């Protein structure tokens, strides 16, 4: 029975706690809990990080590393983000093999030739995520971008965030069907509403896991998947281990899950 690689977004431990303790302090916890990958969050660095220390910790603990940046790839004017190159460099310096950004305001006519030049020879692979915005959370826009990238043989993959589709009321099953072959990384979170009526990320219930299992049929076998929902409790190691094991089974063939 295969157990597939699980990543943990460090935002899962709460922004306040992570900023207080520093992201590097959580890396041993992830390794002990059985995570395959750590997702560093640029917005959670309370001060400029020590990239050598982060890269060294990632390497020593045997973790893969992804760097997430709150960067829109395309501006409102349809220009490629000037910050892409320095962000790629920061990701590489921290030991990350992937950089996750959002699509931004991509539309027909955006210059993918310039994107190809920026990515040429890069050791870090670019992943583009569906975010919660009108421009970056639309199935049609993402499908158009990946289709054009494919025609240019650009090595750009997709981060498929299961929960984010709800912010723009996009059908998640249709998104998986249309975009699944481009997916290289999956953000997993259930979604509910808080007391103010705002949508928030939540740990999955059995019904969510059933839906996720269905979605994974459209993705490449064994695609890495990430926890991006609250991990809370007195014993963070036990909680983390429990949810890592839970997600590691997503995408198993039905007959194998029945005998698990």
Cα separation, 30 vs 124, whole angstroms: 22
> For residue 253, what pLDDT is reported?
79
DSSP H stretches of helix in the chain: 15-21, 27-33, 51-61, 84-93, 112-119, 139-151, 172-179, 206-216, 236-248, 254-258
Q: Sort strands 199-202 and 190-193 into parallel, antiparallel or unpaired.
A: antiparallel
Segment 60-98, tens digit of pLDDT: 999 999 999 999 999 999 999 999 999 999 999 999 999
Cα separation, 172 vs 19, whole angstroms: 32
Segment 180-204, tens digit of pLDDT: 999 999 999 999 999 999 999 999 9
The average confidence (pLDDT) of the chain is: 95
Domains of the chain: 6-258 (3.20.20.150)
- CB 109: neighbour CB atoms within 10 A? 7
Residue 257 has pLDDT above 70, yes or no: no
Q: Of all residues in the chain, what percent carry a pLDDT higher than 90?
A: 93
Segment 168-186, tens digit of pLDDT: 999 999 999 999 999 999 9
Segment 130-140, tens digit of pLDDT: 999 999 999 99
> For residue 230, what pLDDT is reported?
98
Cα separation, 28 vs 167, whole angstroms: 33
Segment 138-172, tens digit of pLDDT: 999 999 999 999 999 999 999 999 999 999 999 99
Given a contact cutoff of 8 angstroms between Cβ atoms, the answer to whether 105 and 74 are in contact is yes
Residue 234 has pLDDT above 70, yes or no: yes
Given a contact cutoff of 8 angstroms between Cβ atoms, the answer to whether 29 and 237 are in contact is yes
Cα separation, 225 vs 80, whole angstroms: 28
> For residue 255, what pLDDT is reported?
42
Segment 20-66, tens digit of pLDDT: 999 999 999 999 999 999 999 999 999 899 999 999 999 999 999 99
Query: Which of helix, strand or coil describes residue 242?
Result: helix
């Amino acid at each position: 029975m295969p157990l597939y690689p699980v990543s943990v977004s460090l935002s899962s431990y709460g922004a306040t706690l992570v900023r207080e303790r520093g992201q590097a302090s959580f890396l041993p916890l992830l390794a002990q809990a059985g995570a395959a990958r750590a997702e560093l969050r640029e917005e959670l660095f309370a001060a400029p990080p020590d990239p050598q220390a982060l890269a060294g910790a990632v390497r020593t603990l045997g973790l893969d590393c992804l760097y997430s940046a709150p960067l829109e790839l395309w501006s409102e004017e349809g220009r490629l983000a000037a910050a892409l190159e320095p962000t790629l460099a920061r990701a590489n310096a921290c030991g990350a093999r992937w950089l996750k950004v959002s699509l931004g305001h991509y539309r027909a006519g955006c210059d993918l030739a310039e994107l190809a030049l920026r990515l040429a020879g890069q050791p870090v692979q670019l992943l583009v995520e569906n975010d919660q915005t009108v421009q970056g959370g639309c199935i049609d826009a993402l499908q158009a971008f990946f289709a054009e990238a494919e025609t240019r043989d650009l090595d750009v993959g997709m981060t498929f965030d299961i929960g984010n589709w709800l912010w723009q009321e996009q059908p998640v099953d249709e998104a998986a069907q249309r975009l699944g072959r481009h997916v290289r990384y999956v953000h997993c979170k259930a979604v509910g509403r808080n007391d103010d009526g705002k949508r928030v990320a939540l740990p999955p219930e059995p019904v969510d896991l059933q839906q996720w299992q269905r979605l994974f049929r459209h993705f490449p076998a064994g695609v890495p998947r990430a926890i991006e929902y609250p991990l809370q409790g007195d014993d963070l190691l036990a909680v983390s281990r429990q949810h890592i094991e839970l997600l590691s089974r997503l995408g198993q063939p039905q007959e194998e899950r029945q005998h698990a």
